[in-house]
Amino acid sequence: MENDSIRASGTNTLIDLWLNGRMRSICVSQEAIGAIVGFDQMSAMSDKERCEFVRTNLPLVIGAAQKRLADDADSDSISIDGGELPRPDGRAGERRAGDRRKSERRKAERPSGLPDRRRSDRRTGERRKAPKPRS
């Protein structure tokens, strides 16, 4: 990506890139960046740090822009506000409430009368048969 395609303008970060067959301008607001890194850390970021953040998280920005393009495919400019960037750690869209495994996967207690078939010897006899006597 070229150096001038990501730039800061006031409180927004602007990106010019080729997306879905056309050159598009994407505007990422400070609130969108703050929703990912935290608002206290975002307020301490310089313009250069915001540009670097957008450059390193470009797949997230492109994904959010393509979501917006699904609604309006003819738009030349796309604005991404707070809450529209998916979080890379998955906290915003986590579907599972807890661990998938509900119980312990260790071997359950077996009744004492049944032998464990995996622990017994399969072969009780000699592996090789005695050679046939020659006549």
CB 53 within 8 A of CB 64: no
Higher confidence at residue 127 or residue 99? 127
Q: Which residue bears the tokens 């150096």?
A: 3
Contacting residues for 48 by C-beta, under 8 A, at least 6 apart:
8
Distance CA 87, CA 37 (A): 9
pLDDT, tens digit, 9 for 90 and up, residues 70-94: 888 888 888 888 877 776 655 544 4
pLDDT of 56 over the 60 cut:
yes
CB 6 within 8 A of CB 13: yes
Q: What is the pLDDT of residue 94?
A: 46
DSSP annotation of 40: H
Confidence of residue 27 (pLDDT cuts 50, 70, 90): very high
Distance CA 14, CA 10 (A): 10
Whole-structure pTM value: 0.58
